[in-house]
């Protein structure tokens, strides 16, 4: 067994894990990052999801370092590609011109940029990254974590990691059960939280859908039809059993509008049977998560647009992949992959076309874009995992527009950052349909990052003190980055002053000093409209 030691052990190299490692290393701490997949970056890379962001993100509503990441992505394209004149003229260049984000880019570009940002610390030895390693066991003493043992998938070597602080930045909250950290999974009951949109009964297995994303280009006149998946017949006739009812079969161009659940019908390419670079009106699935608009580049750079398929038809909600026996979790993971491949096969062979024919055999998987052999993303898109039982829990009452009855979200004196996104809950394993409701621009309270008992473990992903409902607005890219960055600076701050995180939380003078540090490094603590009382 190999053993390593560092000041900070980060389990999970996703968005929050990378942000935490960068922040801690910049404060002089040594950091080991243990990532389960071959790629760091999580949602941005191995899960192949362009950043979901608030409308002000170009100038506000994210940390300075997150905006540096976004700037570096654009600079990567400007340095390495011949861009069209129109693309060069855009200060806020969007490589794919996808409608979901102002920065729809390729996963590999995000991966490269993250390594560029980490490079000085990797070279100096302040950060070490262990890829394809997942946590297996933990050693605790009273209310402290002493070590975590991981196993490497490539050779099954066991690696024990010792540290002063441990950060759970995993996608599913993997470290929480291993360390005995108190946590919650699934949905709380309305009687517990008082939330307008909470479930009527608590259910630890009532979690949002996962999605196995894949990348496509389109080559008319060619046939790239995949092998018919074994589960295809099941999925092609499947009607989701959700409440309120779905709009018919899952495999269709019609699906519920998330906010109203009214039927919404789209076409693949937007009113025609070929992607048109000028048709980005938002009525096309192809343009929704398009990461390459070939007209942004010199002729011949790309022979086709490239889009990422993460649409309602690929949401898998027949069962959870945590809090169930391993064989059951694996069965659901396999079924989620079969769903995605079946949907691709349906689009290639049976999907209705504008011209009256069926199928688009020219749709072609792009394994090179997502870094896999089969063309599916390296890891499912995870919307919800385990959440710590925190010293403070954010509920819908704090951020929901309908419940606040004002223009202000709750103002938290212990804010460590800000964010904004609708409460966006996808269909769940217990049969709940979409919930998509407006929120007010909100803050991230430090109390939601402090476990109720374990003293040297902190969350840095979708595992903070939120509810099933408020997880739906705290789970997106810039918020996860902010959480990770705030946690990285917190452990660096604690190491320098020989403190514990709970001390920073309950001692006002120390909290003010820590918040001053966050402000100096470019972490915004409040929205302009929160200058007055909530």
pLDDT surpassing 50 at residue 431: yes
Buried b (16+ CB within 10 A) or exposed e, 202-241: bbeebbbbbbbbbbbbbeeeeebbbeebebbeebbebebe
In the block, which residue shows the tokens 């940002």? 117
Roughly how many angstroms between the first and final C-alpha of the chain, as a whole number?
Answer: 53
Between β-strands 290-292 and 423-425, what pairing exists: parallel, antiparallel or unpaired?
Answer: unpaired
**Under a CB-based contact definition with an 8 Å cutoff, are residues 338 and 214 in contact?**
no
Number of other residues whose CB lies within 10 A of the CB of residue 170: 30
* Total H helices, total E strands in the chain: 16, 21
pLDDT at 104: 98
Q: How far is CA 355 from the centre of its chain?
A: 37
Query: Is domain 2-188+383-530 annotated with CATH 1.20.58.1000?
Result: no
Q: What is the rounded CA–CA span in Å between residue 4 and residue 168?
A: 17
532 strand-pairing partners: none
pLDDT at 531: 47
Q: What is the rounded CA–CA span in Å between residue 362 and residue 201?
A: 47
In 3-state terms the chain splits into helix, strand, coil percentages (rounded to 5) of: 30, 20, 45
The pLDDT of 172-183, averaged and rounded, is 98
Q: What are phi and psi of 64, to 5 degrees?
A: -60, -40
Q: How far is CA 527 from the centre of its chain?
A: 23
pLDDT at 276: 66
Q: What is the rounded CA–CA span in Å between residue 452 and residue 447?
A: 9
Which DSSP string do the residues of 383-451 spell out, in sequence order?
----EE-BSS-B-HHHHBHHHH-SS-PPP-TTEEEEE---EEE--BTTSB--EEE-B--EEEEGGGGSB
Q: What is the rounded CA–CA span in Å between residue 77 and residue 83?
A: 8
Question: How confident is the model over 260-303, as pLDDT tens digits?
Answer: 999 999 999 987 777 865 554 556 899 999 999 999 999 999 99
Reported confidence tier of residue 530, pLDDT bands at 50, 70, 90: low
Whether this prediction's pTM lies above 0.85 is answered by yes
Q: Kindly give the interhelix angle for 64-80 and 15-26, rounded to the nearest 10 degrees.
A: 110
What HEC string does 258-292 produce?
A: CCCCCEEECECCCCCCCCCCCCCCCCEHHHHCEEE
Residues ≥6 apart with Cβ < 8 Å to 69: 113, 114, 117, 481
SS3 at position 532: coil
The region that residue 400 occupies, defined by phi over 0 for left and psi between -120 and 50 for alpha, beta otherwise, is: beta
Reported confidence tier of residue 1, pLDDT bands at 50, 70, 90: confident
Kindly report whether the peptide bond that precedes residue 244 is cis, defined as omega within 30 degrees of 0. yes
Please state, rounded to an integer, the average pLDDT across all residues of the chain: 96
pLDDT surpassing 90 at residue 307: yes
Number of other residues whose CB lies within 10 A of the CB of residue 201: 13
pLDDT surpassing 80 at residue 529: no
pLDDT surpassing 60 at residue 35: yes
Q: What is the rounded CA–CA span in Å between residue 428 and residue 437?
A: 16
pLDDT surpassing 90 at residue 397: yes
Residues ≥6 apart with Cβ < 8 Å to 339: 212, 231, 235, 314, 316
Question: How confident is the model over 77-106, as pLDDT tens digits?
Answer: 999 999 999 999 999 999 999 999 999 999
**Under a CB-based contact definition with an 8 Å cutoff, are residues 31 and 126 in contact?**
yes
Number of other residues whose CB lies within 10 A of the CB of residue 373: 6
Question: How confident is the model over 516-525, as pLDDT tens digits?
Answer: 999 999 999 9
* Domains of the chain by residue range: 2-188+383-530, 210-370
Question: How confident is the model over 457-512, as pLDDT tens digits?
Answer: 999 999 999 999 999 999 999 999 999 999 999 999 999 999 999 999 999 999 99
Q: What is the rounded CA–CA span in Å between residue 414 and residue 493?
A: 15
- Taking every pair of Cα atoms in the chain, the longest distance, rounded to a whole number of angstroms, is 70
SS3 at position 333: helix
**Under a CB-based contact definition with an 8 Å cutoff, are residues 240 and 434 in contact?**
no
pLDDT at 407: 79
Q: How far is CA 133 from the centre of its chain?
A: 19
Question: How confident is the model over 318-358, as pLDDT tens digits?
Answer: 999 999 999 999 999 999 999 999 999 999 999 999 999 99
pLDDT at 224: 98
Q: What is the rounded CA–CA span in Å between residue 273 and residue 261?
A: 27
Q: Kindly give the interhelix angle for 107-124 and 64-80, rounded to the nearest 10 degrees.
A: 110
Alpha carbons within 13 angstroms on the beta-carbon side of residue 347 total 26
pLDDT at 272: 78
Q: What is the rounded CA–CA span in Å between residue 266 and residue 261?
A: 15
The burial of 290, by beta-carbon neighbours within 10 Å (0-12 exposed, 13-18 middle, 19 or more buried), is given as buried
Between β-strands 254-256 and 435-437, what pairing exists: parallel, antiparallel or unpaired?
Answer: unpaired
Q: What is the rounded CA–CA span in Å between residue 100 and residue 385?
A: 23
pLDDT at 467: 98
SS3 at position 148: strand
């Amino acid at each position: 067994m190999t053993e390593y030691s560092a000041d900070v052990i980060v389990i999970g190299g996703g968005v929050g894990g990378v942000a935490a490692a960068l922040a801690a290393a910049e404060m002089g701490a040594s950091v080991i990052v243990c990532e389960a997949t071959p790629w760091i970056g999580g949602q941005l890379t191995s899960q192949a999801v362009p950043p979901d962001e608030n409308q002000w993100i170009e100038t506000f509503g994210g940390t300075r370092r997150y905006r540096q990441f976004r700037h570096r992505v654009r600079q990567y394209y400007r340095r390495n590609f011949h861009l069209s004149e129109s693309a060069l003229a855009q200060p806020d260049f969007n490589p794919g011109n996808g409608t979901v984000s102002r920065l729809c880019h390729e996963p590999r570009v995000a991966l490269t940029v993250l390594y560029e940002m980490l490079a000085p610390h990797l070279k100096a030895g302040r950060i070490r990254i262990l890829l394809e390693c997942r946590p297996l066991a933990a050693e605790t003493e009273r209310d402290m974590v002493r070590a975590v043992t991981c196993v490497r998938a490539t050779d099954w070597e066991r690696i024990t990691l010792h540290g002063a602080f441990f950060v759970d930045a995993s996608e599913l909250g993997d470290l929480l059960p291993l360390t005995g950290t108190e946590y919650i999974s699934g949905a709380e009951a309305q009687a517990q939280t008082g939330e307008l949109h909470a479930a009527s009964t608590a259910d630890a297995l009532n979690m949002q859908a996962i999605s196995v994303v894949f990348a496509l280009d389109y080559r008319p006149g060619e046939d790239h039809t995949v092998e018919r998946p074994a589960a295809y017949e099941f999925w092609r006739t499947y009607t989701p059993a959700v409440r309120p009812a779905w709009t018919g079969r899952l495999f269709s161009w019609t699906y519920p509008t998330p906010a109203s659940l009214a039927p919404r019908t789209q076409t693949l390419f937007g009113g025609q049977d070929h992607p048109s670079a000028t048709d980005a009106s938002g009525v096309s699935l192809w343009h929704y998560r398009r990461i390459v608009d070939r007209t942004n580049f010199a002729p011949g750079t790309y022979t086709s647009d490239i889009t990422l398929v993460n649409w309602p038809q690929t949401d898998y909600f027949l069962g959870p992949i945590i809090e169930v026996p391993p064989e059951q979790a694996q069965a659901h993971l396999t079924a989620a992959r079969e769903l995605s491949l079946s949907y691709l096969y349906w689009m290639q062979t049976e999907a209705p076309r504008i011209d009256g024919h069926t199928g688009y055999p020219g749709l072609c998987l792009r394994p090179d874009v997502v870094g896999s052999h089969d063309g599916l993303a390296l890891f499912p898109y995870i919307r919800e995992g385990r959440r710590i039982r925190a010293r403070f829990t954010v509920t819908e009452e704090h951020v929901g527009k309908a419940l606040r009855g004002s223009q202000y979200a709750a103002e938290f004196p212990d804010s460590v950052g800000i964010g904004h996104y609708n409460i966006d809950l996808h269909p769940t394993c217990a049969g709940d349909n979409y919930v998509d409701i407006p929120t007010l621009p909100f803050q991230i309270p430090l109390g939601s990052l402090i476990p109720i008992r374990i003293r040297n473990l902190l969350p840095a992903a979708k595992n903070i003190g939120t509810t099933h409902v408020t997880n739906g607005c705290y789970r997106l890219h810039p918020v996860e980055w902010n959480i990770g960055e705030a946690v990285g600076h917190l452990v660096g701050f604690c190491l320098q002053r020989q403190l514990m995180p709970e001390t920073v939380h309950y001692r006002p003078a120390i909290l003010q000093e820590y918040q001053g540090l966050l402000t100096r490094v470019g972490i915004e603590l409040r929205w302009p409209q929160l200058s007055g009382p909530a």
